[in-house]
Amino acid sequence: DPLRVLRGAQFASRFHLTPDEETLSLMRQMPLDHLSPARVMGEMKKVLLMSDAPDVFFRVLALVNALDPWFSELKALIGVLQNPKYHPEGDAFEHTMLVLREAAALKNQAKDPLSFMFVALTHDLGKAVTTCLNEKGEWSSIQHEIKGLPLIESMLLRLGAGRQRTAYCQNLCKLHMRVHTCYYQK
């Protein structure tokens, strides 16, 4: 059952486990294309709501080349460079994983913890389609918060997150750069 790939990553995330090489090898052999959105969302809810390290779920999936077909927008962030002045942690995937881990520590303060976690997961998807070197020779992702909106919609609706939750995530993602603008204008 290919759901075991997601379940294995989910257990690693929730229980701080590290899959051995034999398990990882088996996970690499199971395609996830035929899983239903409901089953994928079931594992997602466990990861996002019950784990203090939800990034481990996606790191394990990346390790076994299993981000496709459900999380291809996240996979597209791997290797997307960022300006080290603002993002010394590395590429956009690494940044997203760090944000997701931080969000997990705050989720219980949110009115809608699941939507809050989906915002953390999707807030920078637009960097995959906007990142380039600017005229100063620095990496920049101008308008990633806008260009990412269709990517958020694609991923969340594919997962069965629903229109209301998707709209919530798109709205917060669209606004997330305003915090930075305020900070740097002080």
User: What are 83-116's pLDDT values in tens digits?
Assistant: 999 899 999 999 999 999 999 999 999 999 999 9
Nearest-angstrom CA–CA distance, 23 and 4: 10
pLDDT band at 183 (very low <50, low <70, confident <90, very high): low
Mean pLDDT of all residues in 20-33: 97
Nearest-angstrom CA–CA distance, 97 and 55: 5
Mean pLDDT of all residues in 40-48: 98
Looking at the predicted structure, is the pLDDT value of residue 178 above 90?
no
Looking at the predicted structure, is the pLDDT value of residue 182 above 70?
no
Q: Which burial class, exposed, middle or buried, applies to 107 when counting CB atoms under 10 A from its CB (0-12, 13-18, 19+)?
A: buried
Q: State the amino acid at position 11 in one-letter form.
A: F
pLDDT at position 177 is 86
Looking at the predicted structure, is the pLDDT value of residue 185 above 80?
no
Structure-token pair, residue 8 = 């294995």
User: What are 111-136's pLDDT values in tens digits?
Assistant: 999 999 999 999 999 999 999 999 99
pLDDT at position 89 is 95
Q: Which burial class, exposed, middle or buried, applies to 65 when counting CB atoms under 10 A from its CB (0-12, 13-18, 19+)?
A: exposed
Nearest-angstrom CA–CA distance, 25 and 141: 36
